[in-house]
Amino acid sequence: MDINIASIKNYEGKSVPIDCAIALEGRPGDDFKIIGPVSVKGLIRNFGGTIELSAKGGAKLEMICDRCAGEFTEDVVFDISESFKENERFERGSENENPDIIYFSGDSIDLDEYVYSNLVVSLPGKHLCRDDCKGLCPMCGADLNNGECGCDTRPIDPRFDILDTI
């Protein structure tokens, strides 16, 4: 979604509120699926000539549990924070060059890419359907969240083996 910043980009201290829902496409290789529109609420403002985006994102994701391989959906809330500068004001190689700043030209900024990247970095490395997911039985593959399968999965203590053979 393009946000028009014509009214703020030349006026320090000015801001525009953002309150929208965007249709965000996932990327190949994502280990989650975005269900429905992603909400973005916050502010974009001109702070000393830098355009700063500060917002909260909200999305519904479909994921596969890393422990039990079950599908589940989760509502996630994440911070969106980016700084932009207009291309013309930037001289490459100058001391103002800052890798954290995104350069744009024109009167609008397309937020989709930045909403997506902020969503991805907010996700934990492991997806669990619930914190105490019991996972699958290593012997028969049963989903232990549905109850014990009856397999003996206690670690075998080698000392008992010796007793058995006496």
User: What's the closest the beta carbon of residue 128 comes to Zn ion, in angstroms?
Assistant: 6
CB of 147 to Zn ion, least distance (A): 11
Residue type, 51: I
Name residues whose C-beta falls within 8 Å of residue 54's C-beta, 6 or more positions apart in sequence: 42, 43, 44, 45, 80, 81
Closest distance between Zn ion and the C-beta of residue 122, in Å? 20
Instruction: Pick the closer one to Zn ion by CB: 51 or 133.
Output: 133
Q: Which residues pair with 80 in a beta bridge?
A: 55
Question: What Cα–Cα distance (Å) separates residue 134 from each residue in 39, 125, 139?
Answer: 32, 18, 14
Choice between 2 and 71, CB closer to Zn ion? 71
Reported as type and span, the H/E element at residue 58 is strand 50-64
Q: Which is nearer to Zn ion, 109 or 133 (CB)?
A: 133
Of 20 and 149, nearer to Zn ion (C-beta) is 149
Query: CB of 105: closest distance to Zn ion in angstroms?
Result: 46
Amino acid at 164: D
For residue 119, give the H/E element and its range.
helix 112-122
List beta partners, residue 123: none
Instruction: Kindly tell me which of 18 and 129 has the beta carbon lying closer to Zn ion.
Output: 129
Q: How far is the CB of 159 from Zn ion (least distance, A)?
A: 25
Q: Which residues bind Zn ion (CB under 5 A)?
A: 65, 67-68, 129, 133, 137, 139-140, 142, 149, 151
Place of tokens 């000392």: 159
Backbone angles phi, psi at 10, to 5 degrees: -105, 10
